[in-house]
Structure 1
Amino acid sequence: MITQAQSQLYTIRDLLRFAVSQFNKSDIFFGHGSATAYDEAAYLILSALHLPLDQLEPFLDARLIDNEREQVLNLIKRRVIEKIPAAYLTNEAWLGDYRFYVDQRVIVPRSFIAELLQTQLAPWIIDPDNIYSALDLCTGSGCLAILLAHSFNNAIIDASDISADALEVARKNVTDYDLAEKIHLIQSDLLNQLPKRRYDLIISNPPYVNAESMARLPEEYRHEPRHALASGEDGLDAIRTILQQATDYLTEEGLLIVEIGHNRSALEQIFPRVPFTWLETNAGDEFVFLLKRDQIP
């Protein structure tokens, strides 16, 4: 079908229609940025043609040269057949207005904490200028560390990850944003290899997928590093370690903010006396918790 399309599709409108049809009749999964076949198709086409991602309409009837058409059709083919997330095909992902380089050494950036950083964690942080040190634990591509740097001007930030490969990707993003003097990258298995220092703020989007869910993940997630997703039988292995050690790394008034996926009920059963504050996001208040240092068990 895609070979046949090479000689019969002429405009961006033609390719958009073709891509949406191919995506809708396939079993691809949308969970890495786009929510629909139309959005995914528009993104891939505009990206392949180096056009503004928010300006599809003016170009719909533009005719493509052979090389451009071949590039677009190759992306569509790989998305359908190989089930590769679009972010890996284009080597970019977005959190709000921020663009990040990504490849299969890191998971595709997606985090409710990014949404919360847009308001500088108000009302929990009253004066952002009083945040002088912060840690992004399990930084992956470095995306949240970079958002931290833009949210808290006075903060020196450590960004850690167990994966040396992930830190190479993070280094590229930190360099692209000219933040090498503000963000320090550290290889560490959670908190275990970090230098002994205390932070006003620790954020983390750690692995939190349980064994049952890992076994049922769509194929798109198989392209992501397994160690960045899986966290034991109940999905809480990493979070247990964070809670056990976080007080040693927080200042007296320090805050811990952790994203935990769909594990709220399981976490509250394990720690019934811990007064978790669940932060409101656009998807509800079940995915990110906040604890003050003196609330951590």
Structure 2
Amino acid sequence: MKRIVLFLVTNLAVLLVLSIAASVLGVNRYLTANGLNLGMLLVFAGIMGFGGAFISLLMSKMMAKWSTGARIIESPETSTEFWLVETVRKQAQKAGIAMPEVAVYEGEPNAFATGPSRNNSLVAVSTGLLQNMSKEEVEAVLAHEVSHVANGDMVTLTLIQGVVNTFVIFLSRIVGYLVDSFLRRGDSQSSGPGIGYTITVIVCDILFGILASIIVAWFSRQREFRADAGAASLMGSPRPMMAALQRLGGMAVEPLPKSLASSGIAGGQGFMSLFASHPSMEERIAALAAQGR
């Protein structure tokens, strides 16, 4: 329940901030008496599309801590915590990034990396992962997450999400305007957008949003392959990462909160492969095997 409330509150806050920004800048007045002002519409779409994506990115570490209850290891208290911090430190140095924050959270096997930049990130593992995997397998999972950070995957996916969001907003309103103009042809009495515009924009936002999700999911799957390959490089061999994936494939993996679904080591596989944020374990293991050859 806590995760759902946080997700809703965050998204409402983002929408409120963006709406105020659009009003202050005046870019929400893209519908004029002379029709669509395409320049203003594009700026409006860009603010709403990129704004939401980047606000989510900037808040990603904070939201990850809140939604999972992750506890940052500031001063290791056990041998496991000391090993986790030192393993991430060595991998970060090897990958050429600043030391991420390291956290542990209660839950079934999973792990994730998030943060606004390569030098301001968080790597977290679940207690279930630590309890059910060997040290070498956990190390491979950590290397996978560190590779995500080193590859700048959080920023890359944010940029992609921002671009597709912008096109969804822009194209939906153009189609809405065209449909509304067609339905009201010959009507010189009415001014401003009609019901045809409103309904069409809502329908197009949904349809184009579905198409956009497919595009974002494809890029997300590619970054998983890259992070697996990065883990193999950091570990010196693809074998530990393959073993970790095989082990994860045989366990019940706890889904992460929606905002973190694409960041986990496992999960995020949609009801159709087109919408899956992660490739199947079989595909990932096959890709690593091919790399090993």
TM-score, normalised via structure 2 length:
0.30
The structure whose residues are more often strand, as a share, is 1
Q: Select the structure of larger CA radius of gyration.
A: 2
The structure whose residues are more often helix, as a share, is 2
TM-score, normalised via structure 1 length:
0.30
